[in-house]
Amino acid sequence: MKYLNLLLTGVGGQGIIMAGNIIGEAALASEYDIKKTDSIGMAQRGGSVVSHIRLGRKVHSPLIREGYADIMLAMEKLEAARWGNYLRSDANVIINDYVLPPPSVSLGSEKYPLDSEVMDFIKRRHGRIYLVNAIKYAESLGNIRTFNIFLLGCASLFMPFKVDIWKKAIERCVPEKMALINCTAFELGRKELRNMRSLKGCVTL
């Protein structure tokens, strides 16, 4: 592997930065060079958040060129569409089946597009799309805030890190009292996505 380009996106408060930090910890522990940059904008008001993460044997820049993202982990549907032009045609795309209208929609100046319009736009990139109801699985664990780590577990199947390294990275990045439930969410994400067939087009979990 020369490079692996990962794009994490969503809105403020969804744990995107933490998920990216865990990926960074796992990459360093696996002896990869890694570069990461975060754009948080108006995240504290529910605005867009995106993390560019690039890893390989030697990485010079954190920014992913349009059309070069190998993996997208999107925690909100519209944000997946917003950054869809960054995807490779064979990218693996994990999308949380969740809608959180941006402030412009809440204020009435814009309209949130139809769900079918959002998904059609994403599917035009021709990646393998996994539409995952992460909130449901997090609720089944008794803590909805673990949904980002559940999604990270899904995405981890496309990254070259060992499970024990992932778990140690999670333990380093989350509060000690939350380590066990987050590791459980991570394992559940891996299990559920592994049970799905890798299909061209949209897959719903």
Residue 8 CB contacts under 8 Å (≥ 6 apart), including other chains: 16, 19, 20, 23, 50, 51, 53, 72, 73, 74, 75
Q: How many CB atoms lie within 10 A of CB 97?
A: 17
Backbone dihedral angles phi then psi of residue 58, each to the nearest 5 degrees? -150, 120
Q: How many CB atoms lie within 10 A of CB 72?
A: 27
Its pTM stands at 0.87
Q: Domain coordinates of the chain in residue numbers?
A: 3-204
Tell me the pairing of strands 48-56 and 201-204: unpaired
DSSP of 82-93:
HTGGGEEEEEEE
pLDDT (tens digit per residue) in 50-94: 999 999 999 999 999 999 999 999 999 888 888 988 999 889 999
Q: How many CB atoms lie within 10 A of CB 133?
A: 16
pLDDT (tens digit per residue) in 118-175: 777 777 766 788 989 999 999 999 999 999 999 999 999 999 999 999 999 999 999 9
Q: Domain 3-204: give its CATH code.
A: 3.40.920.10
